[in-house]
Amino acid sequence: MAAVKNGREYLSHVTETLRHRIAQLDDSIEAGQKEIEGMHEYYWENYTEMDQYGYENFDNQQALLHEINASNEKIELRRRFKKMMDSPFFGRVDFCYEGEDEPKIFYIGIANLAEENGGLPLIYDWRAPVSGLFYDFDKGPASYQAPLGEIYGDIAAKWQYKIRGGKMIYEFESDVKIDDEILKAELGSNGDVQLKNIIRTIQKEQNAIIRNTSDRIMVIQGAAGSGKTSIALHRIAYLLYHDRKNLKSSSVLVLSPNGVFSDYISHILPELGEENIREMSFDLFAYRRLKNVVSDCEDRYDLIERQIAGLYDEKLLKEKLSRDFLDRMEGYLVELEDSLMNFRDVEHRGVVKKEQEIIELFYFKFMDIPLLSRMDAVAEYFIDEVETLKGFDLPDEERDAVKSRFYRMYETRDLYVLYNRFLKDEGFPALPQVQYEKRKLRYEDVYPVLYLKYRLETQQEDSGVRHLIVDEMQDYSMIQYLIIQRLFKCRMTILGDREQTMDGEQQDVLTFLPKIFGKDIRRIVMNKSYRNTVEIASYANKLAGITEVELFERHGKPVVEKEFPGLEEALESVVRELRLEKQTALSGNADAAGEAGNPAEGTSGASEEIAEDTISYETAAVIARTADEAREAYYILKEKLEAEGFDTKERLSLLHRDSTNFKKGLTVTTFYMAKGLEFDQVFSVFPGEDRSPIVERARYIAATRALHELYMYEIVK
């Protein structure tokens, strides 16, 4: 097709192409399924007559596997094309190559699209090298990095589009990198139930982070609402696109704050063309690794609840997570080399291994093996010797019996006992001496025990993980990062905001990360906040004493501060102020305005033109201090909202540590479960008398969750 300068015409052509490609794939997938069925039938009818060496059998199986893989690839391509039908492209760059007069037109979308396989793209993937022009340059001189080197030229024009349901909502020519009015409209729209795809509004500084392929460890320190989590996920999508030979989606792991966060971000990567990213919390990871040591472990949220209740020893907590504590543990490990062992002769089937020989094997030949795994190597060495001399392999039961005699040379192999001895030796309060079923580690002991496990037992690093994302980096201690460094020898993207530390005292992890990972850490600071209105962001920054954050100019309602004599009264106010509807009126009006007239006029400033009482939202949250307070608020709200005819079954949820999904409507939760999430309306309901450092930090976290409206309620008895 000749270059089409009208976006609506091009959309029509692209949509028709998509329909054609999907129809072709439907036919090809159907034919492939019949071929697979035929191959299955042939195999079962003839496998008894295949050659005795299995060559024909192998060839048939390989052919079947090839056909199945090809069919799966076609199914995935069809899924992607069907997804593109909703919004095939969002941008366009007219680029005049150096030495040429006529510009080449590049349309940019979620994925590549050509009229046929191997053909010239009609749509270029947002991650393609040429797409960088859209994000990084104004009209005029520009360049992009191609496989053969830097390509230079001039941008003659840039266009931006919003397409929904295959229909053009707006199109206009933009003179700037990403038009502020469009960005304002996107940010000002009512909150989605999940984290937003930002490919239409990626800023130049964000694009530089996303397309960074050179730095092994990137640390993104961003203000609340700066888009650091979105940027990290977009970067992963970009890296997967550019390094498919070495990096698969299944080899990416996200260490996230909690289970619900996985659901919250779940749609971003599929929208970007990537799926099957693994996710888990580090606390869950620790619990799984320690199941053979203790029956249960506290998580971070247990500690926070204890901190708020004053049921913890702050000095002890700091000591156990300190560098000094680790150094003392390392000294203890050196001492264990001798004190833990009781060597003796071992005889089996007439073959004798003297005590001195065992000592030499233990301390010299296998000295590089961790202490509690070392005797296994010695035992295997002896068993090999016996089998060689006797000329036959020992049965498994006999091998196990021999090994157990070597294991008994340890005074104990119980990590719980060994850690307890260390605590006693160093003057710390000891853990309860109880049976396995009653062992529960407090949070401050979980990672020291896990560290001890990694130092004393052979651990297989998770080689399946090729890229690790660590979210909320400020909530990880030095000992946790040391464990991460030991376990994951891969590229990392580490992100967080020191202002959102869930402790009373701020922690800047960048003071010790270079000592753990080396000095080749690339640090990125994102100080521009996009999430909140100016009014909300200014209020939150004042709470935390933050002055250096740049605010995106999007205005809204002033923050509401109120005091109430009790929780009932505060929640009655929540019910009155709640603006949840089934349909998002603001978003619908904005889109309609865009279709009817000038796109910029139709989207920017829409919230100012709509009467306050007609505004409705998709998401709202009541954020409490503790889990018990959140639960109480939930049941009071449930009763009050049901009296108002509100569908509480579908649109009211209590978000707690065991929650696994995030949905539209009103969410009741704690400040620590709300981290990383955002809501159209936020009602912070805290006891007014609690001004402890951790709760003051909690107020800041709660405030920064609000997109459009913030209500700071205090219960003053």
Note the pLDDT of residue 135.
Answer: 84
* Residue-wise pLDDT tens digits, 286-315: 999 999 999 999 999 999 999 999 998 989
Q: Which residues contact 90 (CB under 8 A, 6 or more apart)?
A: 108, 109, 160, 161, 162, 163, 199, 200
Identify whether the C-beta of residue 610 lies closer than 8 Å to the C-beta of residue 581.
no
Q: How far apart are CA 629 and CA 648, in angstroms?
A: 19
409 three-class SS: coil
Per-residue pLDDT at 207: 84
Instruction: Provide the pLDDT for residue 612.
Output: 53
Parts of the chain with a pLDDT under 70: 1-5, 47-58, 175-200, 262-276, 460-463, 503-506, 582-614
**C-alpha distances out from residue 344 to 226, 378, 405, 474, 501, Å:** 63, 13, 10, 49, 52
> What pLDDT was estimated at residue 205?
80
Q: What pTM was estimated for this model as a whole?
A: 0.79
Predicted local distance difference test score (pLDDT) of residue 367: 95
Do residues 345 and 355 make contact, with C-beta atoms less than 8 angstroms apart?
Answer: yes
**Residue 7 neighbours by CB under 8 Å, 6+ apart:** 92, 159, 161, 168, 171
Q: Single out the residue of 573, 618, 617 nearest to residue 713, CA to CA.
A: 573
Cα 449 from Cα 287, distance rounded (Å): 11
Pick the closest to residue 105 from 36, 29, 156, 52 (CA basis): 156
pLDDT computed for residue 583 by the predictor: 36
Considering only CA atoms, which of 550, 472, 549 is closest in space to residue 509?
472
Q: Which of 322, 304, 321 lies closest to 504 in space, CA to CA?
A: 304
- Which residues, other chains included, contact 348 with Cβ-Cβ below 8 Å and sequence gap of 6+? 382, 386, 402
Rounded Cα distance, 656 and 665, in Å: 16
Do 500 and 703 touch, CB atoms closer than 8 A?
no
Any alpha helices (H) in 429-554, and if so which ranges?
A: 443-456, 478-487, 513-517, 534-544
Question: Tens of pLDDT along 496-511?
Answer: 998 888 765 667 888 8
**pLDDT on residue 597:** 35
Return the amino acid letter for 518. G
Residue 649 neighbours by CB distance under 10 Å:
9
Provide the sign of the torsion angle of the four alpha carbons 665, 671, 674, 680, taken in this order.
positive
Find the radius of gyration of the CA atoms of the chain: 31
| Distance from C-alpha of 236 to C-alpha of 232, rounded to nearest angstrom | 6
Positive or negative torsion for Cα 398, 404, 405, 406: positive
